[in-house]
C-alpha cells in the first residue's frame, strides 16, 4: 500500500509528452535531489549517491512511477537506486565477469559460441540497473555508429565467419537508438547470407515501454526472423503499458522471450517467480532463462545461493506448466558459457530401471535399457 506522503511519480502518465519515449529518456532522474522529490529516500539510498566511483544512475519517469514512494525494500527501487555496496568487491567479483574482452576479435563484437555473436550497438539504457553485468560501459568496446567503420568491420568479420548463424544486438540497450539506425544495422546484417536469426536484447518494454512504437515494430518485423528478448524481473513490472508494448511486438509476428536475473530481495521467492511467469505468459512472453547473478563488481547484495536457486526453480515444477518454467542457468566466469543448473530427478538406477522423484516427492520406476547398441551419436 502506498503511504500518504508521496504520490505516484507525476510525470510518467499525466500528459501527452510522457507517452513519448524520447521525452522519457531526456527526463531521466539521476540524483538524490531529483528522485527525492517523489520518493522518501532512506539513509542507505542517500548514502549510495555519495559514494565515489558509483556506477551511473538513470531512472525514467515511467519506471519511477512503479516504485513504492515510502518503502526502500520496493523491488523496483532495489533494481534502480544506488547502494553504498555498489562499489564494494565481493568474493570472486570482476569488472568483466564473462571475459568478453578476451572474446572480442574487434570492438563491439563478442564471439563466444561457434554459431552466434553479440554486437554491442549502444552504451545507453533507459534505466541503469544496479545488477548490470556490463557496468563498465567502456565506449572503446562498442560497435559505434551504424554507418561507421565499426559496422563495416563487423559485417566483414561475419562474412568470413560462415559458422555464425545468429547475431544478438545488445549493449547498453539497442532500443535507445533511433529507428533509422536500427534499420541500418539490421539491413546490413541481412546482407550476410548465412545469418539465419537475429535477436534484440532489450529492457525497454520493462523500463520505457512507450519506445515500442508501430514504426519500431515495422522495422524489427521487416528484418525477421527476429526474436525480442526482454528482462522482466518482478510481476510489478508487467504493467498495462508493458502489456501493450509486448502485444505490439507479438501481433507483428515477433517471438518474445524473457531472461530474468535472480536477485535476492527482489524476486528470490517461489510464489513470486510463479506469479511472474503467469504474468509473462499472459502478455505472450515466454519465460526462457532465470540467470544466477553474474559476479560483477558490487553485486554481492543481490546474490542468491545456488542451492537455494535450484530449490526455487524445482518448486515451480508441477505448479506451472512447462511453458512457464524458465531454465535456471549460470554464465561460467571467464567466458566459458552458460551452464544449466538443476537438481537431478534421478535417485537410483539399475541396468533396466531408473528411479525418479516426481514434483510431489513420489518415487517412480521408469523402464530403461542397458543395450549398448542403442546409443546416441554424441557431438564430435
Per-residue pLDDT, 295: 87
Which is the catalytic residue, given 8, 71, 113, 165?
113
Which is the catalytic residue, given 68, 86, 173, 331?
331
Contact 359, 377 (CB under 8 A): no
Q: Is 129 a catalytic residue?
A: yes
Closest by CA position to 173, among listed 226, 117, 132 = 132
Q: Is 135 a catalytic residue?
A: no
Spans of all domains in the chain: 16-87, 101-340, 344-380
Q: Is 125 a catalytic residue?
A: yes
Which is the catalytic residue, given 125, 203, 227, 236?
125
Q: Hey, what's the cell of 299?
A: 553485486
Per-residue pLDDT, 146: 57
The whole-angstrom separation of Cα 15 and Cα 241 is 15
Contacts of 358 (CB under 8 A, 6+ apart): 318, 345, 364
For the chain, the straight-line distance linking the first and the last C-alpha, in angstroms and rounded, comes to: 57
Which is the catalytic residue, given 63, 68, 96, 112?
112
Contact 118, 168 (CB under 8 A): yes
Which is the catalytic residue, given 62, 77, 132, 173?
132
Q: What is the DSSP letter of 71?
A: -
Contact 14, 38 (CB under 8 A): no
Q: Is 159 a catalytic residue?
A: no
Per-residue pLDDT, 351: 82
Looking at domain 101-340, which CATH architecture does it have? Alpha-Beta Barrel (3.20)
Question: Do strands 327-332 and 337-340 pair parallel, antiparallel, or not at all (unpaired)?
Answer: antiparallel
**Residue bearing cell 537410483:** 348
The whole-angstrom separation of Cα 205 and Cα 288 is 16
Say how many C-beta atoms besides its own lie within 10 A of residue 370's C-beta: 10
The whole-angstrom separation of Cα 94 and Cα 333 is 9
Say how many C-beta atoms besides its own lie within 10 A of residue 300's C-beta: 18
Q: What is the mean pLDDT of each run of 10 residues along the chain (380 residues)?
A: 40 71 97 97 95 91 98 97 88 82 91 96 94 77 69 94 97 95 96 98 98 98 97 98 98 98 96 97 97 89 93 92 94 86 85 84 83 68
Q: Is 376 a catalytic residue?
A: no
Closest by CA position to 260, among listed 240, 282, 239, 279 = 279
Which is the catalytic residue, given 190, 264, 338, 357?
338
Q: Is 116 a catalytic residue?
A: yes
Rounded to two decimals, the pTM is 0.91
Which is the catalytic residue, given 28, 77, 130, 134?
134
Q: Is 331 a catalytic residue?
A: yes
Query: pLDDT tens across 344-359, in order?
Result: 888 898 888 888 888 7
Per-residue pLDDT, 7: 39
Q: Hey, what's the cell of 256?
A: 518474445
Which is the catalytic residue, given 116, 135, 236, 248?
116
Query: pLDDT tens across 128-158, in order?
Result: 999 998 877 666 777 765 567 789 999 999 9
Q: Is 338 a catalytic residue?
A: yes
Q: What is the DSSP letter of 374?
A: S
Q: Hey, what's the cell of 13?
A: 502518465
Amino acid at each position: 500500500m502506498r503511504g500518504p506522503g508521496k504520490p505516484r511519480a507525476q510525470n510518467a502518465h499525466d500528459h501527452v509528452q510522457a507517452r513519448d519515449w524520447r521525452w522519457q529518456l531526456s527526463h531521466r532522474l539521476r540524483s538524490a535531489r531529483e528522485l527525492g522529490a517523489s520518493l522518501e529516500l532512506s539513509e542507505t539510498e542517500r548514502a549510495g549517491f555519495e559514494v565515489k566511483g558509483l556506477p551511473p544512475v538513470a531512472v525514467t519517469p515511467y519506471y519511477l512511477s512503479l516504485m513504492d514512494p515510502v518503502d526502500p525494500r520496493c523491488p523496483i527501487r532495489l533494481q534502480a537506486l544506488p547502494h553504498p555496496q555498489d562499489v564494494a568487491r565481493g568474493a570472486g567479483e570482476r569488472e568483466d565477469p564473462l571475459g568478453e574482452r578476451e572474446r572480442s576479435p574487434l570492438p563491439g563484437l563478442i564471439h563466444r559460441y561457434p554459431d552466434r555473436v553479440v554486437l554491442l550497438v549502444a552504451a545507453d539504457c533507459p534505466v541503469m540497473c544496479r545488477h548490470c553485468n556490463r557496468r563498465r560501459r567502456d565506449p572503446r568496446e562498442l560497435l559505434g555508429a551504424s554507418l561507421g567503420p565499426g559496422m563495416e568491420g563487423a559485417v566483414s568479420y561475419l562474412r568470413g565467419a560462415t559458422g555464425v548463424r545468429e547475431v544478438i544486438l545488445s549493449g547498453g540497450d539497442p532500443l535507445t537508438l533511433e529507428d533509422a539506425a536500427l534499420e541500418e544495422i539490421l539491413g546490413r546484417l541481412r546482407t550476410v547470407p548465412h545469418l539465419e536469426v537475429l535477436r534484440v536484447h532489450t529492457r525497454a518494454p520493462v523500463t520505457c515501454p512507450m519506445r515500442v512504437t508501430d514504426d519500431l515494430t515495422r522495422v524489427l518485423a521487416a528484418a525477421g526472423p527476429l526474436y525480442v528478448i526482454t528482462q522482466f524481473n518482478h510481476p510489478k513490472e508487467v504493467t498495462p503499458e508493458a502489456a501493450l508494448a509486448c502485444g505490439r511486438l507479438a501481433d507483428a509476428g515477433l517471438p518474445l522471450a524473457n531472461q530474468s536475473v535472480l536477485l535476492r530481495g527482489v524476486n528470490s521467492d517461489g510464489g513470486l517467480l510463479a506469479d511472474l511467469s503467469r504474468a509473462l505468459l499472459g502478455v505472450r512472453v515466454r519465460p526462457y532463462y532465470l540467470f544466477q547473478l553474474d559476479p560483477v563488481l558490487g553485486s554481492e547484495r543481490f546474490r542468491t545461493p545456488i542451492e537455494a536457486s535450484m530449490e526455487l526453480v524445482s518448486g515451480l515444477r508441477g505448479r506451472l506448466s512447462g511453458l512457464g518454467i524458465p531454465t535456471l542457468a549460470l554464465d561460467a566466469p571467464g567466458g566459458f558459457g552458460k551452464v544449466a543448473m538443476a537438481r537431478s530427478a534421478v535417485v537410483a538406477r539399475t541396468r533396466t530401471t531408473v528411479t525418479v522423484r516426481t514434483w510431489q516427492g513420489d518415487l517412480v520406476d521408469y523402464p530403461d535399457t542397458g543395450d549398448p547398441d542403442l546409443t546416441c551419436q554424441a557431438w564430435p
